[in-house]
Amino acid sequence: MKLTLVYFDDQIQNIDMWKELLEDEFHVIGCNDALSYPLILKDNHPHAFLLDVHMPVMDGHMLYKKITEHPLYNGCPVFFISGDISDENKIRSYESGAVDFLSRGLSVEEISLRLSNKIKFYLHSSTMLELGNLRIDVQSLRTTINSVTIDLTLLEMRLLGIFLRAFPQAITRTEVIRKIWGDEAVKPGTINTHVTNLRPKIEQWSHGIKIREDQILIQPK
């Protein structure tokens, strides 16, 4: 199975070129409009994003922030690519949170290897979350209890994944809101609403979600 790579670049010729050069290993979804990122997130479950740094309207750094703070972002690695290899551009890219900075001057073989190696590391290290009789397969977006698939929204799955990663420690509402919604103005009670909707779907789970004032934690039943 080919890895799915979403590539944002305002130059269509760049998109067409990299689609052809990477076609042996990647299914490249190209987009030349950075503002269309919500639709891309809605319609695709990529293994990685590749962002051109210098784009009009919204540059790669701002697009990175928008993508990673969106509720439909699946946590996959994000790469930057640019012909500007100045230290300032590289440092800013890494500070933004990119897993790698790729120069357009690199060989196709090196770019392909750097993309695939980091994507495979991500898939290997974060593909499965498991506690008791519940399992979340991050790669396939499938949640099961006793091997039976549970119908969760992507947001519910992300919330549950955050709670599981924090276990056995508690996590604060503030931290959950930051991880899911970023800088958006979200009322703390929003989490209660989502957890209330989530509980009936996971009632067969061996554990439960407890909310105590500002603390959210997982406990055995």
CATH number (domain holding residue 23): 3.40.50.2300
Closest to 122 measured CA to CA, from 3, 1, 2: 3
Do 170 and 62 fall within a single domain?
A: no
Do 205 and 133 fall within a single domain?
A: yes
Give the domain range for residue 136: 128-220
Task: Give the pLDDT of residue 103.
Answer: 95
pLDDT, mean over the chain? 89
Task: Give the pLDDT of residue 3.
Answer: 87
For strands 142-145 and 148-150, give the pairing.
antiparallel
Burial class for 187, CB neighbours closer than 10 Å (0-12, 13-18, 19+): exposed
Do 94 and 157 fall within a single domain?
A: no
141-193 pLDDT, tens digit each? 789 999 999 999 888 998 998 898 888 888 998 888 888 887 777 787 888 99
Do 169 and 93 fall within a single domain?
A: no
Nearest-5° Cα angle at 12, 111 to 113: 10
pLDDT (mean) for 123-127: 65
